[in-house]
Amino acid sequence: MAAPFVDTAKITVRSGNGGNGVVSFHREKYVAAGGPDGGDGGRGGNVVVVIDDHMSTLMDFRYKRKYVAENGMDGSGKRCTGKNGADLVLRVPRGTVIRDSATGEIIHDMSDEEPFILCRGGRGGWGNQHFATPTRQVPRFAKAGFPGESREVVLELKLLADVGLVGFPNVGKSTLLSVVSRAQPKIANYHFTTLFPNLGVVYVEEGVSFVMADIPGIIEGAAEGAGLGHDFLRHIDRCRLLIHVVDVSGSEGRDPVEDFEAINAELRQYSPQLASRKMIVAANKVDIMEDPTLLEKLRAHVEAQGMELFELSAAAHMGTRELVKKAAQELQQLPPVAVYEPTYVERPPEVDTTGEVSIEKYDDTWVVEAPWLQRLMGSVNFSDYESRNWFDRNLRQSGLFDKLEAMGIQDGDIVSMYDLEFEYQH
């Protein structure tokens, strides 16, 4: 039994935590007052998403839902920095769109060759070597590493095809794809033979080719989730040209004009933008046509809407060459395959600043640490004025400065928070 086609997956990803800095002093015979030499912690591993052109589904994400990168190692003496955590690489098929699970906003479209960092690893904490000053020659503190980022995302595969074949089940889309390309879809004379999209490269002539997708048959009600069609309509979102395959043989007692309009209604309901895409109509199975008036009715209906109709029999290889040449000609006039622009906007985290705070005094230095403070600092761009003001407001609202003043902090004393130091002023 073939593996099921999986084109959406919800996963949780987390980058590695940064390693802790270390408190250490240089100890060597005949060297007096060697000084602090505690090394920094290593950076946590990133979560990186890359394209793998050998993958065609998101099957790998069906059973494993949580992915965590490696933490950075702690520093050590002799100014040795801890080892960075290894990046976690997630491989996805080309055309995978990464969305924020909560809002549905697009974070990134994996359509180009560039790797994308989905979660950045936490920075490593500083060792005590960084905190030595002329007045603080024996710093007995170091800093913890920053936590990694965590996200819940939805991976959604939208095939990167130039041409999409649409139509009811069993009208001959898979047969057409197999005839005009080297794709080998499963073909049989029953509805829903195609259970997942098939891609094929159509070679028209020297230097001219395009990618064609055979989308599982759409049925009436697909836009509301009926049948298989709803699950796969997303795969024609990017198609620049649609070839609407209609069975004109009359062998199943169907009316080609009714079928044509029913599919177009589903496309309009799913996406008006998609329904407005350039469309060519392929009247298939003309070699076993029982009533030629069905073809003529369809031709008149289609041409009245400004579309071209091609007669063909995919099974008998009739008319397929003319169809693909016309498709290639149309593609030269159409804009390139759509790439989705990110719509996700990073929002400042809502940090609960009511948690416990550790405050220790070393000479004129006040070392402040708290888990919530780490999270707060991890989201601040200290080179940006607005971001610094937002950080300062959060510190004041937390009551941290009131606590420091109650403990006797003076103007000019140093406040040390992880990898940030500043002089205190009332």
- Is the domain of 12 the same as that of 154? yes
Domain end (from 139, 158, 177): 158
- Is the domain of 197 the same as that of 283? yes
The Cβ of residue 181 has, within 10 Å, a number of other Cβ atoms equal to: 21
Q: What percent of the chain has pLDDT over 90?
A: 30
- Is the domain of 202 the same as that of 154? no
pLDDT at position 331: 92
Is the pLDDT higher at 207 or at 48?
48
Write out the two tokens for 238. Answer: 């990017």
- Is the domain of 153 the same as that of 170? no
390: domain CATH number is 3.30.300.350
pLDDT mean over 391-401: 86
| Position 59 in a domain | yes
For the chain, what is the domain count?
A: 3
- Is the domain of 176 the same as that of 264? yes
pLDDT at position 250: 81
Lowest mean pLDDT among 80-84, 196-200, 280-284: 196-200
Widest pairwise Cα distance in the chain: 106
96: domain CATH number is 2.70.210.12
Q: What percent of the chain has pLDDT over 70?
A: 88
Write out the two tokens for 262. Answer: 């029913």
Write out the two tokens for 246. Answer: 């209609």
283: domain CATH number is 3.40.50.300
Whether residue 15 is predicted with pLDDT greater than 90 in this model: the reply is yes
- Is the domain of 14 the same as that of 143? yes
pLDDT mean over 23-32: 69
| Position 290 in a domain | yes
Q: Is 264 in contact with 305 (CB distance < 8 Å)? A: no
- Is the domain of 107 the same as that of 9? yes
| Position 190 in a domain | yes
pLDDT at position 1: 35
pLDDT at position 192: 40
Q: Is 157 in contact with 56 (CB distance < 8 Å)? A: no
Each residue's pLDDT tens digit, 100-138: 999 999 999 998 889 999 999 998 988 888 777 776 677
- Is the domain of 291 the same as that of 185? yes
| Position 19 in a domain | yes
* Side chain identity at residue 267, one-letter code: L
pLDDT at position 237: 79
Whether residue 195 is predicted with pLDDT greater than 60 in this model: the reply is no
Degrees to nearest 5, angle at CA 61 with 56 and 67: 130
Domain end (from 135, 158, 181): 158
Q: Is 214 in contact with 165 (CB distance < 8 Å)? A: yes
| Position 344 in a domain | no
| Position 20 in a domain | yes
pLDDT at position 275: 83
- Is the domain of 40 the same as that of 169? no
Domain end (from 126, 158, 190): 158
| Position 339 in a domain | no
Whether residue 2 is predicted with pLDDT greater than 50 in this model: the reply is no
Range of the domain at 399: 351-426
| Position 67 in a domain | yes
Helix (H) or strand (E) holding 292: helix 292-304
Strands (E) in 249-378, as ranges, are 278-284, 309-311, 358-362, 365-369
Most confident of 44-48, 123-127, 260-264: 44-48
The Cβ of residue 146 has, within 10 Å, a number of other Cβ atoms equal to: 25
- Is the domain of 154 the same as that of 168? no
CA 393 to chain centre: 34
DSSP symbols for 45-76: PPEEEEE-TT--SSGGGTT--EEEPPPPPP-B
Lowest mean pLDDT among 85-99, 233-247, 288-302: 233-247
Whether residue 235 is predicted with pLDDT greater than 80 in this model: the reply is no
pLDDT at position 229: 47
- Is the domain of 328 the same as that of 356? no
- Is the domain of 176 the same as that of 319? yes
Q: Is 377 in contact with 147 (CB distance < 8 Å)? A: no
CA distance 144 to 149: 16
Lowest mean pLDDT among 93-107, 262-276, 322-336, 347-361: 347-361
Q: How confident is the model at residue 79 (pLDDT cuts 50, 70, 90)?
A: confident
Give the C-alpha distances (Å, rounded to integers) separating 29 from 22, 23, 33, 38, 39.
22, 20, 11, 18, 21
